Amino acid sequence: MEKRKLKSMGLLLGLLCFMVLEGFAQDGTSNKVLIIGIDGCRPDALLAAQTPNIDALWKDGAYTFKARTDEISSSGPAWSAMLIGVWHQKHDILNNEYEDPDLEHYPHFFHRVRQEKPEMKTYSVATWGPIHKILQEGDATYTSSKISDVQVASEVATILENKDVDVMFVQLDEVDGAGHKHDYKVESEKYLKAIERSDKQVGTMVSALEKRTSIENENWLIILSADHGGSNFGHGKNIPDHTTVFFIASGESAKKGEITKEVGVVDVAVTAMYHLGIPAKESWDLDGRVSGL
């Protein structure tokens, strides 16, 4: 082959690699991520409840109902594992007080996004406000804490429909409240009802996303998971009832079907970043792996 042709092929290849890494598919669409975390939602209870919106996501995506969360199955350590991509041994958040987290070495993944792609718009909306304690100044384009899941879903829907968003993280809290009050089990009707309300909120947010005027040029990955399960009106222990969670990755880029490899909540941040064209660097020392793509 002529040298000149080889050179132009090389350039083309380079351009393609660049586009993939920059989060653009070859047809010019941009990759975006919506993560929805349902606090304290057990996978068996999710399957027992009537959840048409969530079912549509996992049936058309990659899923496992045998993923695991942090050994310290409390909200602080577990949400941090999900959003940082490392277990508590590294991030050092051991309770819901968030004392002395090692954010210098292990920051929220929004921090990595800001470093690698400062133009990206990152949003975090939660019912449980302390979740934002691991965000450092400037990490997020926008954060908001609301007093109810309905308010969270409504604000997220408005943002998704109208704003320039690259990453949206959403935390719904009321399923965990129902678990503490009525117990975390499939026999607990009120716990299942709370999961069904979360499903409606997932529906509200996903339909808002579908109404985006720019949706044709966007490739959204929707990730759903939970920070922990529960039993006997509580959680926090290193037992399967508390540490088993679901992981769902839905969208065009998801590899449809059950994920058979081991999946951890630490995979959420790593998978999200990968979809955004930010593959994890060795030096970040993350525990998560890409799952479901």
Is the distance from CB of 212 to CB of 161 less than 8 angstroms?
A: yes
Token pair listed for 281: 């660097």
Q: How far is the CB of 228 from Zn ion (least distance, A)?
A: 5
By the rule CB under 5 A, 39 interacts with Zn ion: yes
- Judged by CB under 5 A, the stretch of 31-39, 44-52, 138-146, 208-216 that binds Zn ion is 31-39
- Ramachandran category for residue 217: left, alpha or beta (phi over 0 → left; psi -120 to 50 → alpha): alpha
Question: Of these, 149, 174, 227, 287, which contacts Zn ion (CB under 5 A)?
Answer: 227
Binding mask 170-209 for Zn ion (x = CB under 5 A): ------x---------------------------------
Q: Which is nearer to Zn ion, 99 or 164 (CB)?
A: 99
Q: How would you list the strands of the sheet with 61-68, edge to edge?
A: 142-145, 122-126, 167-172, 30-38, 218-225, 244-250, 61-68, 257-258
Q: Which is nearer to Zn ion, 113 or 172 (CB)?
A: 172
- Judged by CB under 5 A, the stretch of 37-45, 151-159, 163-171, 280-288 that binds Zn ion is 37-45
Is the distance from CB of 239 to CB of 211 less than 8 angstroms?
A: no
Q: Which is nearer to Zn ion, 227 or 287 (CB)?
A: 227
* Dihedral (CA of 108, 113, 118, 123) sign: negative
How many Cα neighbours within 13 Å face the side chain of 16? 7
Indicate the DSSP class of residue 153. Answer: H
- Judged by CB under 5 A, the stretch of 93-101, 145-153, 160-168, 223-231 that binds Zn ion is 223-231
Q: What phi and psi values does residue 28 have, to the nearest 5 degrees?
A: 90, 5
Q: Which is nearer to Zn ion, 268 or 276 (CB)?
A: 268
By the rule CB under 5 A, 127 interacts with Zn ion: no
Binning the chain into helix, strand and coil, the percentages to the nearest 5 are 45, 20, 40
- Judged by CB under 5 A, the stretch of 5-13, 106-114, 219-227, 265-273 that binds Zn ion is 219-227
- Judged by CB under 5 A, the stretch of 102-110, 195-203, 224-232, 259-267 that binds Zn ion is 224-232
Beta bridge partners of 290: none
Binding-site residue total for Zn ion (CB under 5 A)? 5
Residue nearest to Zn ion (CB): 75
Question: Of these, 31, 51, 73, 75, which contacts Zn ion (CB under 5 A)?
Answer: 75
Indicate the DSSP class of residue 100. Answer: S
Q: Which residues bind Zn ion (CB under 5 A)?
A: 39-40, 75, 176, 227
